[in-house]
A and B are shown apart, each in its own frame.
Chain A
Amino acid sequence: MDFRGRDIISIRDLTREEISFILDRAEEMEKSPPGNVLRGKILACLFYEPSTRTRLSFEAAMKRLGGEVIGFTEAGVSSVAKGESLIDTVRTVEGYSDVIVIRHPREGAARLCAGIADIPVINAGDGSNQHPTQTLLDLYTIRREKNRLDVDVAILGDLKYGRTVHSLAYALGMFNARITLISPRGLEMPREVLSDIKKAGAEIQEVTSLEETLKGIDVLYVTRIQRERFPDMEEYEKVKGAYRLTADMLRDVREGMIILHPLPRVDEISPEVDSTKHARYFHQVKYGVPVRMALLKLILEG
């Protein structure tokens, strides 16, 4: 499989075989890092909104392979509106670098850059659309911890606006996972996204009770429930408790059940869960580096 020069914009662009291939390479990266194979290569990080975690992870990945990083982080939409056009910036930056990683508050920004730049572009989040390296690291974490991807998985939280869960559910669908969705009323997964995921191959059901679901799953993926998403505070107070995972709730779960979260968390997972054998969200963060190392090497060197 030849990834040289390829853009990574959306999980939809990747086949099941390609995803498996990338995850295999990530595992090799983790187990036996290849050294400075990207020496002399430059990664340009164009962050039009702050995301420290993602940026540090890309920088660490590039540096572990001996490459260099340049770039900027802007404060948000206001600075985007003031500055030069994205198209002009990309044309300039591609003269300085070998690969571009972009994060932008508007949907479609990464695809637009990929169409303009002659060098490969990696999407590190375009508004509420895609964040394919997050999805790949989520998949990597599941495969690394469970040895397979056709798992029983429950996804909990804001399923309406949470972009990570849309792409993750879509990708898990490609691997025929059985997915249970749990969300407060009003934050259900949009019908449109749901039908896409079914088409991808997932067996999917929607429930409202977390406790009943917990017993029958291999993976619990928790996302933030943001207070500001709720039209009315009373509604928020009601669901807040119902979707808070505590250590008590883990008594009857499967032995090897793992809990993931893209972080940062608000209060969906209480801190005492961190010390249980099920908590894997900090491993998940760490796994982002080998996944991004694998992608950078595949794209730049093959």
Chain B
Amino acid sequence: MTIDMKVKKIKNGTVIDHITAGQALNVLKILGITKEYPKTTVTVAMNVPSGKLGFKDIVKVEGRELEAEELDKISLIAPDATINIIRDYEVVEKKTVSLPEILEGVLECDNPNCITHFEAAKSQFIVEEKNPIKLRCVYCERSMDEEGVVKQF
């Protein structure tokens, strides 16, 4: 990495880079990293100057690789994020997150009268805008913005 992060490299785990500035704490929520989280070292850098994005956040999580659903959720609030899997201090894999055109099952519709809350139906949203996120429920046609999305993490 070219960025001078004044923290030591991690041995095994994940570096989530190019997070939209200001979203690092939401990324931690998605990963379920709270006070109660087992003793894992987590490093957060916020508002790091970045050529591509202006400013960005970075999250390093020791001893953990991310699941597909976590990547989907990260893509909702940080569409440019890159994921580096680290093993033995080396980057063994680099991934970008990608927001699908149709998002299925990951989130719930925030309209309480939406039929998806009453019948055996998987939620489905059309991704109308990516940054900032704007979703529209395929069923009730209500739209959901970043606030509605973040609430669910």
- The residues of B that contact A85 with a CB separation of less than 8 Å are 119-120
Q: For the complex, what is the distance from the CA of A23 to the CA of B105, rounded to whole Å?
A: 38
A-B contacts at CB below 8 angstroms, number:
55
Q: A127-B140, A192-B143 are in contact. Are A87 and B120 (CB under 8 A)?
A: yes
Main secondary structure of the interface of A (DSSP, over half): mixed
B106 to chain A, nearest CB (A): 17
Q: For the complex, what is the distance from the CA of A85 to the CA of B138, rounded to whole Å?
A: 20
Which of B119, B138, B139, B142 is close to A87, meaning CB atoms less than 8 Å apart?
Answer: B119
Which of B121, B141, B143 is close to A107, meaning CB atoms less than 8 Å apart?
Answer: B141
Are B141's CB and A112's CB within 8 A?
no
The residue among B115, B118, B143 with the most chain A CB atoms within 10 A of its own CB is B115
- The residues of B that contact A10 with a CB separation of less than 8 Å are 141
Which of A12, A87, A106 is close to B113, meaning CB atoms less than 8 Å apart?
Answer: A106
- The residues of B that contact A130 with a CB separation of less than 8 Å are 141
- The residues of A that contact B111 with a CB separation of less than 8 Å are 107
Are A109's CB and B120's CB within 8 A?
no
Let me know if B98 is at the binding interface, CB within 8 A.
Answer: no
B126 to chain A, nearest CB (A): 10
- The residues of B that contact A87 with a CB separation of less than 8 Å are 119-121
Let me know if A160 is at the binding interface, CB within 8 A.
Answer: no
Are B141's CB and A86's CB within 8 A?
no
Are B120's CB and A107's CB within 8 A?
no
B121 to chain A, nearest CB (A): 6
Are A108's CB and B120's CB within 8 A?
no
Closest to A86 in B: B119
Q: For the complex, what is the distance from the CA of A290 to the CA of B77, rounded to whole Å?
A: 48
Let me know if B44 is at the binding interface, CB within 8 A.
Answer: no
Let me know if B137 is at the binding interface, CB within 8 A.
Answer: yes
Are A108's CB and B139's CB within 8 A?
yes
- The residues of B that contact A107 with a CB separation of less than 8 Å are 111, 113-115, 139-142
Are A127's CB and B113's CB within 8 A?
yes
- Which 4 pairs across A and B sit closest by C-beta, in order of nearness? A108-B139, A107-B140, A108-B115, A108-B140
Q: List 6 A-B contacts (CB under 8 A).
A: A86-B118, A87-B121, A108-B140, A126-B140, A127-B113, A192-B143
